[in-house]
Chains A and B, each alone.
Chain A
Amino acid sequence: MKCGYSKEQLLEFYRKMVLIREFEERVKFLFLEGIMPGTIHQYQGEEACAVGVCSALQRGDIITSTHRPHGHCIAMGMDIKSMMAELFGKQTGCCKGKGGSMHMGDIEKGVVPAIAIVGGGIPVATGIAFGFKMKKQPRVAVCFMGDGATNEGTFHESLNMASIWNLPVVYAVENNFYGASTHVSLVMKVEKISERACAYKIPGITVDGNDVIKVYETACEAVERARKGEGPTLIELLTYRITGHSRRDPALYQPPEEKKKALENEPIKKFSEFLISMDITQEELEKIRETVKEEIEDAVKYAMNSPDPLPQDTLNDLFV
């Protein structure tokens, strides 16, 4: 195609983003209906971040995620049946019902059980990269975090260590401008989070996190640097959460004007427009969405028909 990407690759980006969006929409519905237990932090509006970054990875690379992990899990190719089952707390869930939404993961797919303490995953991803380096393996760790996490001490401790030890790690900061309800401008004076990288003498880049191609290209460069042994990179992905922080949050702290603008700039709409300009048809895109929806319905059925864990399964899996 004239953009330099194959049609197949572009449609795969699209499919994954739509899979995340539709998965989250279905989960939201199930949750609000009271069918699904627990609490949820959803990823609508940030799909290009996960898909762009994870598409730059190879088998054997590992990510850490956050309290908002569904998008990262899907982008890493986790089975959505086992994800849905986990959300329902079922035995067939990816963590056998012990993790739930906030600890979703599958190490086989390169996803550490998501770490739901803000900033808690940053040293862990750094340690994974440290392990790769010690074992002289050409693998890369990616640490997803939100804007809020960059105010945690672990962010600074980790970037410093990754810098002095030249570790193969990419820090992907999804800046959606709100830590829960608090706007980022209230909690940091730097205009760009990527500026913080200079304190550790590592590259810091800010990109449009709603542009999947830009995210992908930036991530590819950072991942390649890491794999070549040239050290860590901090990537700030500017995005927006077009849903509440969690559960039933109506996000009244997001000004209507800002929200409206964000909806116009949301990644799937934006990418669809781009694809159509590349002569891909609306019908092709619709077909993808329909297939994805069917896949999700299958996952919901699978999850709901799966057995619950036994109460006494509580006692398993603590020690090896």
Chain B
Amino acid sequence: MARLTIAEALRQAIREEMKRDESVYCIGEDIGIPGGWGGAFTVTLGLEKEFPDRIINTPISEAGFFGVALGSSLVGLRPIVDVQYGDFLFCAMDQIANQIAKLRYMSGGKIKTPIVIRAPVGVTGRGAQHSQMMEPFFQCLPGIKIVCPATAYDAKGLLKSAVRNENPVMIFEHKLLYGAKGARSEPGSIDASSEIPDEEYLIPIGKGTVRRQGTDITIVATLLMMHRACEAAEIVEKEGISVEVIDPRSLVPFDWEIVKQSIAKTGRLIIVEESPRRGGIGAEIAATVAEEMLDFLVAPVKRIAAPDTPAPFSPVMEKFYVPDTVRIVQAIKEMMSISS
């Protein structure tokens, strides 16, 4: 048992998977340059020493190396593709959306494309082009699974499952949760470290978890917002409001069962997300709940999200942009006051 940060847990997962299966390799920009950072947030730091031929540093050519990953998966390799910031996924969008997501389907199921795509997300003092939450862009894309680990324990177990999955899997990692150290440490980080068991474990893709039991309100949130929701739950508990926090951990496939069970108990649902409200994760969850669980609800579903603008730079505006604990507490109280 050792306490690891998300960055360390991901590194351990990659190391274990590369040791277990020599067809696993990492590809991306700056991921294994001696004296460098091990990717933008230290996840692959030092792995090039252990696996000199399987940590592949690329040119700044996102469309190119995403395609390389895909091509290599067709001939038996299992790439873990690293992109420095989630925002750069757009540079590779044809390869991701038209090729990686569709090639198996187009072939009539005759080929498989086991690819893991790792991408940091989170609004963190970098302005509009290094901050976006990318999940909403991909949740509507059939053919790719999506996971969002909020703790080191989940990060390790989900990444290992992703590597062993025969399908493309995207793993979104939050910059404020990595626990990256040294020159790549992140101001405003929160502790998402976990005790990691010595023995191997996997976390199944598509299974959520109840982070906090409660009976009055269900909050669904991933990544940083899951932690904020737990903070808010703790605050309102003192006022006698019992909040259940669900971390779906995977967005595709989505664990509807765990959400439904919770709503059946609480009758109230808040979804918190860091991305803009329009067409977001919350919209998808709210729509499905409205279709299938309206009878259980005693109050309208509430979405707490970023506004429909790009992420601003100024710390003052950024604070306004990202949903925080105060907003979540407020929403909880409002919901209780109109429906109890």
Contacts and interface: CB of A to CB of B under 8 A. Distances in A.
Category for how many chain B residues contact A: 35 or more
Contacts of A107: 74, 107, 110-111
Contacts of B66: 123
Interface in A132-175: 132, 134-135, 137, 139, 141, 153-154, 157-158, 160-161, 164
29 contacts: A64-B71, A93-B108, A97-B108, A98-B107, A98-B108, A99-B108, A108-B110, A112-B103, A112-B111, A115-B99, A117-B94, A120-B99, A123-B66, A124-B68, A124-B71, A126-B64, A127-B69, A127-B70, A127-B73, A130-B68, A131-B71, A135-B23, A153-B63, A154-B64, A157-B63, A161-B58, A164-B59, A318-B142, A319-B104
Given A131-B76, A157-B63, A123 B70 contact: yes
Interface string A201-228: 0000000000000000000000000000
What 6 A-B pairs come out closest when comparing CB atoms? Answer: A123-B67, A127-B71, A157-B64, A317-B109, A96-B108, A127-B68
A318 B107 CA distance: 10
Contact of B25 (A125, A134, A319): A134
A123 B104 contact: no
Given A124-B68, A131-B77, A161-B68, 11 more contacts: A98-B108, A99-B107, A107-B107, A108-B110, A113-B106, A124-B99, A127-B68, A128-B74, A131-B74, A161-B65, A317-B108
Given A123-B67, A160-B61, A161-B64, A318 B74 contact: no
Contacts of A126: 64, 67-68, 71
A134 B53 contact: yes
A53 interface: no
Given A153-B63, A154-B67, A318 B104 contact: yes
Contacts of B28: none
B75 A131 contact: yes
B15 to A, nearest CB: 18
Contact of A113 (B25, B58, B107): B107
B103 to A, nearest CB: 6
A160 B59 contact: yes
Nearest to B71: A127
B330 interface: no
Contacts of B64: 123, 126, 154, 157-158, 160-161
Contacts of A117: 94, 98-99
A316 B107 contact: no
Contact of A128 (B58, B71, B94): B71
Interface of B: 23, 25, 53-54, 58-59, 61, 63-77, 94-95, 98-99, 103-112, 142-143, 145, 165-167
Contacts of A129: 71
Most buried by A among B25, B71, B108: B71
A54 interface: no
B1 to A, nearest CB: 34
A94 interface: yes
Nearest to A95: B108
A150 to B, nearest CB: 14
A153 to B, nearest CB: 6
B61 A317 contact: no
Contacts, number: 149
A4 B142 CA distance: 53
Contact of B104 (A94, A160, A320): A320
B71 A96 contact: no
Interface residues of A, number: 47
Contacts of A141: 71
A225 B7 CA distance: 42
Nearest to B67: A123
B63 to A, nearest CB: 5
Contacts of A137: 75
A105 B102 CA distance: 14
A319 B205 CA distance: 13
Contact of B95 (A105, A108, A123, A135): A123
A110 B69 CA distance: 18
A238 interface: no
A106 B111 CA distance: 9
A62 interface: yes
A107 B99 CA distance: 15
A129 B166 CA distance: 21
A103 interface: yes
A261 B280 CA distance: 57
Given A97-B108, A105-B107, A131 B72 contact: yes
Contacts of A319: 104, 143, 145, 166-167
Contacts of B98: 115, 117, 120
A104 B237 CA distance: 59
Contacts of A124: 67-68, 70-71, 74, 95, 99
A62 to B, nearest CB: 7
A122 B103 CA distance: 14
Contacts of B108: 93-99, 317
Contacts of B104: 317-320
A97 B95 CA distance: 23
